[in-house]
Amino acid sequence: MRIFSGIQPTGRKHLGNYIGAIRQYVEGQERGDPALFCIVDLHAITVAYDPEDLRQRLYDTTAILLAAGLDPARCVLFRQSDVHEHTELSWLLGGVCAHGDLNRMHQFKEKSAAQRELVSAGLFFYPVLQAADVLAYRAEEVPVGEDQRQHIELMREIARRFNERFGETLIVPEHRIPEVGAKVMDLQEPDRKMSTTVGSDSGRVYVLDEEKAIRKKFGSAVTDSGRDIKRGEGKQGIANLIGILSAARGVSEESVEAEFEGAGYGDFKKAVADGVVEYLRPVREAYPAIRSDEQGLEAVLAAGAERARELASVTLADVRSAMGVGPA
Ligand code: AQP
């Protein structure tokens, strides 16, 4: 089965990205034939950014993925901008994507409201490029967090519409959203997802946070005035911590609730912090050596791009031909 997913080069990946996406990538590379993981630098330029910073953050993100267990011998890891087929395909797919569908995207509404100087056309068109990222590989499965559900639905619609208009060419992909941890919430505002761009540093745990910082953030996590360590109405904070611990330990949420029945919130938060410290330790320890070798990172990305291009160019040729673009 072909698996594809993209991740932004924001560098400082958080626990939501790790549980919702990165852990799924590592597991996906065993099943993928192939599994392709793409660092989507062209998506990152749709909001305000610093060019030199972008390059550094791209290396940070590549190093986090490798430290987390992605193995270039078992998956295809590459940089989006190295494979020009993505951008050409996105333009071609723009011909079968409804303007009204793009207008309904929650992420565009949220991100455009946060821009101070310019709401770029690129930000509006972003989901079409995202569709091209996946459809270029005829991927069947897309591992993502819950926040990407709407974008995946749109790319399915684009693929369906293309096939109806031009004949069976593209695969309609399925999303794969984890059962636990699909939406890790902010530790300070547990009714909002943990996010790179919204909220404060105390509400998000970074994959590379030191042990002390992790303990501090869980120690001050917002809970409620009750005493039960159970999911339920008005208990988003506790439910979030239950989900995090269950993902970190690889056990069910029910078993976490059973284990902590009758315990105090303070002890529970400490146990969650312990669990997350151990969960992230291997990545934190492997990261510095991988990150310091930028030539090595470039070599991994270049080899990945070559393999990716071989697959994407076939789809692009089929799409051009079906659409009557270029010579017969
Ligand atoms: N809070 C979350 N819980 C579970 N999964 C999450 N993801 C993001 N936040 C959570 C998943 O992480 C993957 C990579 O995301 P991205 O780097 O492309 O950025 P994003 O989806 O825009 O989310 P961020 O990192 O929090 O950034 P902003 O602040 O821009 O929204 C995706 O599969 C995503 O579902």
pTM of the model: 0.96
| Minimum-distance ligand 1 atom for the alpha carbon of 198 | 29
**What letter represents residue 205's amino acid?**
V
Task: List, edge to edge, every strand of the sheet that includes 35-39.
Answer: 76-79, 35-39, 3-7, 141-143, 174-176
- The tens digit of pLDDT for each residue in 92-131 reads 999 999 999 999 999 999 999 988 889 999 999 999 999 9
Where do the domains of the chain lie, and which CATH numbers do they carry?
3-176+293-323 (3.40.50.620), 201-288 (1.10.240.10)
- 164-187 pLDDT, tens digit per residue, is 999 999 999 999 998 888 999 999
Residue 216, sorted as left (phi over 0), alpha (psi -120 to 50) or beta, turns out to be alpha
Specify the residue with its C-alpha closest to ligand 1, atom 17. 8
For ligand 1, is residue 194 a contact (CB within 6 Å)?
yes
**Which atom of ligand 1 sits closest to the CA of residue 43?**
18
145 lines ligand 1 (CB under 6 A): yes
Instruction: Tell me if 221 sits within 8 A of 244, measured CB to CB.
Output: no
Give the pLDDT mean for 16-33.
95
Contact 56, 297 (CB under 8 A): no
Cβ(15) – ligand 1 distance below 6 Å = no
- Give the per-residue pLDDT at 328: 82
266-285 pLDDT tens trace:
999 999 999 999 999 999 99
Residue 130 contacts residue 195 (beta carbons within 8 Å): no
CA of 167 to the centre of ligand 1 (A): 34
Give the pLDDT mean for 47-51. 94
Local structure of 198: helix, strand or coil: coil
Q: Which residues of 223-237 are buried (b: 16+ CB within 10 A; e: fewer)?
A: beeeeebbbeeebbb
Instruction: Write out the two tokens for 152.
Output: 């995946």
